[in-house]
Amino acid sequence: MPMETRIWSKTRQVIVGPEHPAVIIGERINPTGKRRLAASLLAKDMGRVRRLARSQVEQGAAVLDINVGAAGVDEVELLPLAVKAVCEVTDVPLCLDSPNVEALRAALDVYEGKALINSVNGEEKKLEQVLPLVKEYGAAVIALTMDDSGIPSDAATRVAIATKIVERAEALGIPRHDVIIDCLALAICADCRTAMVTLDAIREVREQLGVNMTLGASNISFGL
């Protein structure tokens, strides 16, 4: 039976799986390259966050990624505030996006649902910090196929990293269906062969691990 990943808010569930339509994760609540949003976050003004949440859902997003990582922002304080603000205007499930484990914990404490955490990878420090949090809160997690050596240039190494993460998650009692693998789409302007590496990795991860996958499709056109 095909694997299903389920995440939910108080009132809505989203299922990720090969027998279900592709799930669009809206990623506009991210201050990188957005001066107005960064300024709003610094001022603790959630008006722009709410507007971005509404507009993305209106345009088809089934899950919303929330990232408040701007210079000078206290993510531990701001990420839960942003989560509350988004939940005031929409009921889609949330993807909590931060490299700061304490910020993730603070957001998980206020989120009424099963969140998707963005992200873990094959770095030992990340595995040790993020996976116990996923287990503690019963969340799902996006796992990036990179490690302490960076992003592998070949599909086989990406598959090996994916395998390592899944095995470490299962060792902690996190079910395989709650690990969503990202085989990493890179900008094709740097090297047109990167797309084929990603596709090969996706194929092998599906065949060998059977897990669900996500991909930052907008990365492909970066720089074009």
* pLDDT digits (tens), the chain, 224 positions: 789 999 999 999 999 999 999 999 999 999 999 999 999 999 999 999 999 999 999 999 999 999 999 999 999 999 999 999 999 999 999 999 999 999 999 999 999 999 999 999 999 999 999 999 999 999 999 999 999 999 999 999 999 999 999 999 999 999 999 999 999 998 877 677 899 999 999 999 999 999 999 999 877 776 66
CATH of domain 1-114: 3.20.20.20
Sort 200 into a burial class: Cβ within 10 Å, 0-12 / 13-18 / 19+: middle
Preceding amide of 218 cis, omega within 30: no
Write out the residue limits of the CATH 3.20.20.20 domain(s) in the chain. Answer: 1-114
- Select from 65, 68, 37 the least CA-distant residue to 182: 65
CB 3 within 8 A of CB 177: yes
- Select from 115, 111, 110, 45 the least CA-distant residue to 73: 45
Q: What's this model's pTM, rounded to 2 decimal places?
A: 0.96
CB 18 within 8 A of CB 32: no
